Structure 1
Amino acid sequence: MRNSAANGQPTDEREAAEQEATVQKTSLLALSRRSRRAEEHSGSSDSGVETAEFAVPTPEAGEADRSEEVQMTDDAAKRQGFKHWRRQRPFIGGVMAVLGGIELFFSGQLDLGNMQIQFGIEGLQATVVPITIVVLALLSIFRPAHHVFYGIIALVLAVYSLIGVNLGGFIIGMLLSTIGAILVVAWMGPRGPKESEGVRSR
């Protein structure tokens, strides 16, 4: 019995020593593999432990990626919201009429040194007509229910600017305002989503 017990103790110690040795070998192999992978990715010749630490992705980088994704989704949502808002009103025609009114206004306020270029009744038509066209265009954008009324008045004023405001802002302002007013009048109403249009067509 004593001999068996005496023989059992060294075998247990040997097994424990062998297990520790295998654990150390596996850990060294894992560290060497990590260091090789890190060197392949980074191309630097640092020590195995340091490159393994740097090769592991940090949670801060993941958080930055998530924040970028959230910003991208927010931007996409804003663009979709603006597209939907634009489709519900005569946006392009209103913008063109606004640009034409601005051009008419500044064409009536030209100063070349001591010479001021201004046709028509001085100061009145060159100021009132462009401002009225701009206001009507903005009303047609933000109050699209009465777009026909606003568009007709803006069209009349745009044509009249050929006589009253520096030949219609040297023709450019009159053309912009006229085309914008025609687009405002010809607008067919708000557009629904594409799915609802497909259901209606059926």
Structure 2
Amino acid sequence: MLLTPLRTRFRRWRRSRPFWGGLVAALAGAEICALPLAPLKVMLTQGVAGIPSVLMGLVMIVLGVSVWFAPHYRGLAGIVTTLIATAALVLSNLGGFLIGTLLGILGGGLMFAWQPRVPRRGAPAVPAGSATPAESDPTSAESDPTSVS
């Protein structure tokens, strides 16, 4: 399957940062933030208690998006996201009815655990889309179907 250059560039960009952790954390923030923004009748009943929910949700969205553009802050963003998601359990309608809290903890963990890909020592650099060294070397045992391992 041939990938378009734009899709290939996006894939390379996505793999160079904690993309999935940031996405899950932003979704968790949106979930926590959306519940207090209910119709006006519900919002008036909730009163001032809805303000921390909106603020925690916005901070989680900002942290999730910030690791896309500054991946070196992934450790701090992951820990803060996990702490906010845990605090939302108490301060914000059970953390978005548990969905926001669970997504926030998962997203924070994904951000914290992500490591940048480091090329192996001694392995030649292979440009994206080209053959691996074993496929390009005709004398390699892996590429010879008649060789016995």
Closer, same or farther: CA 135–115 of 1 in aligned 2, 3 Å: closer
| In 1: Cα distance, 2:36 partner to 2:21 partner | 23
What is residue 177 of structure 1 aligned with on the other side?
Answer: 104
Structure 1 length-normalised TM: 0.55
What is residue 25 of structure 2 aligned with on the other side?
Answer: 97
Structure 2 length-normalised TM: 0.73
1:121 is displaced (CA, Å) by 4.7
Corresponding residue SS for 1:122: helix
What is residue 133 of structure 1 aligned with on the other side?
Answer: 60
| In 2: Cα distance, 1:123 partner to 1:103 partner | 13
1:89-141, CA deviations, whole angstroms, 9 ceiling, x for partnerless residues? 00001000000100110112222x73448769523201111001111111111
Relative contact order higher in (CA < 8 Å, ≥ 6 apart): 2
Are residues 1:124 and 2:60 paired? no
How large is the RMSD of aligned CA atoms in angstroms?
2.6
Which residue, out of 73, 92, 114, partners 1:187?
114
| In 2: Cα distance, 1:145 partner to 1:134 partner | 17
For structure 1, the residue ranges without an aligned partner over 5 or more in a row are 1-72
1:6-28, CA deviations, whole angstroms, 9 ceiling, x for partnerless residues? xxxxxxxxxxxxxxxxxxxxxxx
What is residue 77 of structure 1 aligned with on the other side?
Answer: 5
Q: Check whether the contact 2:50–2:92 (CA below 8 A) recurs between aligned residues.
A: no
Greater Rg by CA: 1
Q: Matched residue pairs, number? A: 124
Closer, same or farther: CA 117–187 of 1 in aligned 2, 3 Å: farther
Corresponding residue SS for 2:103: helix
Closer, same or farther: CA 95–117 of 1 in aligned 2, 3 Å: farther
Corresponding residue SS for 2:115: coil
Are residues 1:150 and 2:77 paired? yes
Q: Check whether the contact 2:30–2:61 (CA below 8 A) recurs between aligned residues.
A: yes
1:39-79, CA deviations, whole angstroms, 9 ceiling, x for partnerless residues? xxxxxxxxxxxxxxxxxxxxxxxxxxxxxxxxxx7x61111
Identity across the alignment (%): 31
